[in-house]
Chains A and B, each alone.
Chain A
């Protein structure tokens, strides 16, 4: 058994820095490269892409990421774990095998493909069998929106990833596995942690939580003493150096920018936190109030003392459904009295909606540069030098939202003065794909692992 296992984070979401994966495998020793691509709404975007082209439906950035680290995977034994498969893990594997052909390394890649999370084909059978898939926030049954559902995926845990590693995979592709399992699984695999070793499993999950957002724990988006964080242009993404006892250190490669400190790691620990006593995953329930942090060197934080408990008998399900249409438009008003002009323009628009019989489920007006993010806490904006009026509407009626998009530009000539910033043309109507969180009994979800080469 290795004394230390190093898991490096290379992507924190689909759209993250493309240079990061390669920098992680070339900047120093790492055993695993962990790439997290899936946010709550990503699955529905991928499902739409798959509807248009059955070969799509996975995070295409991943193919370029693997290409950029191919040498480390083929010649140095670095293994890659990613939830890039989205709603089409086998489509993702096909694309990787095509890449392997192109680069002359076919046979050197063993792809572990994890499926079984996709519940969409089984949805009606599951509902008929008494699984209501009620919305966790509102309690409403899924039947309320069943005809508008685009995707439904159970969050699966570390077991199938471990199985794939055990079968020799050097690249593991999953669909909707939990972000944290991507880090915990290789630690559990390497150290042979038992499935009921709650404290160590929880430690692996918390290691995953710390690095799953990439540089957000190593100086990126860090409020604490942000002005003194060095060289963000050259930011080092985080690496977990874990030991068999479940303790670990968070580090980054030497010579990189950013900062790993107790405050930077603490900011990431509280990110998207609910009840800190119960961070529920398919494998274990982790207690964030047990975490002990200590600086153990420059850009090095030791994490220990973590306590875990058995998980629940449910899995979370991420469901996406069509929920109407929206559009957001903007205009910029200049000094003097920028805020007063923007307010007057908003008033003009709303009176015109009324006059023209335009009704919406929601109209949201914000004044960017004054109060758009902090509301009345930021004052009344009267001193703002320039203000962007930002107005958005939402409706099940696409034609109504389209009508809205034609009402903004006329204000340039027939509304309050000193207005600009309309060069982008009419706002674009977007279909809303909304998120429906639900729970389902673990027993009905069976992950499947296949090795392809």
Chain B
């Protein structure tokens, strides 16, 4: 069943040069393993296909129930060079939360507090 990442996580993003970082944080501790399993480097790179020019790196923070993604080449050169509205990667956070995950019904039920609902 389909569920939006927005229903499992919150996020904040920022910049370092031409790299945007997106920290994705599980809304409940039990969602963290789902994030670890679903948000692979490949899946995130595919999500941002055409929007970033470099590779994706992922780091795990089990203590914060969070994953940190580095999106290289995301900011048209970054900082003052960039011609983009979001030159500092401030809203890559919710761009990632647009992702739709395909999860087993039991997990979707947990996300929606008991009742399985297709996204």
Binding site for B on A (CB under 8 A): 40-41, 137, 221, 223-224, 263, 266-277, 288-293, 305, 323, 326, 328, 362, 364, 366, 368, 372-378, 390, 392-394, 432-435, 437
Q: Is the CB of A223 within 8 A of B10?
A: yes
Given contacts A366-B84, A432-B80, contact A273 B15 (CB under 8 A): no
The CA of A291 and the CA of B94, in the complex, are separated in Å by 25
Q: Is the CB of A434 within 8 A of B25?
A: no
Q: Is B53 interfacial (CB 8 A cutoff)? A: no
**Nearest-Cβ distance from residue A277 to partner chain B, whole angstroms:** 7
Contact of B63 among A274, A291, A377 (CB under 8 A): A291
**Nearest-Cβ distance from residue A290 to partner chain B, whole angstroms:** 7
Q: Is the CB of B79 within 8 A of A435?
A: yes
Q: Is B98 interfacial (CB 8 A cutoff)? A: yes
Which of A268, A276, A292 gathers the greatest number of chain B CB atoms within 10 Å?
Answer: A276
The CA of A223 and the CA of B59, in the complex, are separated in Å by 21
Contact of A275 among B27, B47, B59, B62 (CB under 8 A): B59
Q: Is B34 interfacial (CB 8 A cutoff)? A: no
A-B interface, 5 closest residue pairs, ranked by CB to CB distance from nearest: A270-B23, A392-B83, A272-B14, A364-B83, A267-B12
Q: Is the CB of A272 within 8 A of B21?
A: yes
Q: A271 contacts which chain B residues (CB < 8 A)?
A: 12-14, 21, 23
Q: A366 contacts which chain B residues (CB < 8 A)?
A: 84-85
Q: Is the CB of B59 within 8 A of A374?
A: no
Binding site for A on B (CB under 8 A): 10-18, 21, 23, 25, 27, 47, 50-51, 59-66, 68, 70, 76-81, 83-86, 91, 93-95, 98
The CA of A452 and the CA of B2, in the complex, are separated in Å by 65
The CA of A362 and the CA of B25, in the complex, are separated in Å by 35
Q: A374 contacts which chain B residues (CB < 8 A)?
A: 91, 94-95, 98
Grouping DSSP codes into helix (H, G, I), strand (E, B) and loop, the A interface class, with mixed when no group exceeds half, is mixed
Q: B91 contacts which chain A residues (CB < 8 A)?
A: 373-374
Contact of B62 among A267, A289, A328 (CB under 8 A): A289
Q: Is the CB of B93 within 8 A of A223?
A: yes
Q: Is the CB of B83 within 8 A of A270?
A: no
Q: A305 contacts which chain B residues (CB < 8 A)?
A: 63
The CA of A166 and the CA of B21, in the complex, are separated in Å by 38
Q: A394 contacts which chain B residues (CB < 8 A)?
A: 81, 83
Given contacts A221-B12, A224-B10, A437-B17, contact A263 B50 (CB under 8 A): no
Contact of A270 among B16, B21, B94 (CB under 8 A): B21
Which of B12, B13, B16, B18 gathers the greatest number of chain A CB atoms within 10 Å?
Answer: B12
Given contacts A267-B10, A368-B85, A390-B85, contact A137 B17 (CB under 8 A): yes
Given contacts A368-B85, A377-B95, A434-B80, contact A223 B12 (CB under 8 A): yes
The CA of A291 and the CA of B68, in the complex, are separated in Å by 15
Q: Is the CB of A435 within 8 A of B80?
A: yes
User: Which chain A residue has the least Cβ–Cβ distance from B52?
Assistant: A375
Which of B60, B62, B63, B93 gathers the greatest number of chain A CB atoms within 10 Å?
Answer: B63
The CA of A60 and the CA of B104, in the complex, are separated in Å by 57
The CA of A267 and the CA of B15, in the complex, are separated in Å by 14
The CA of A270 and the CA of B89, in the complex, are separated in Å by 13
The CA of A356 and the CA of B60, in the complex, are separated in Å by 51
**Nearest-Cβ distance from residue B90 to partner chain A, whole angstroms:** 8
The CA of A372 and the CA of B60, in the complex, are separated in Å by 30
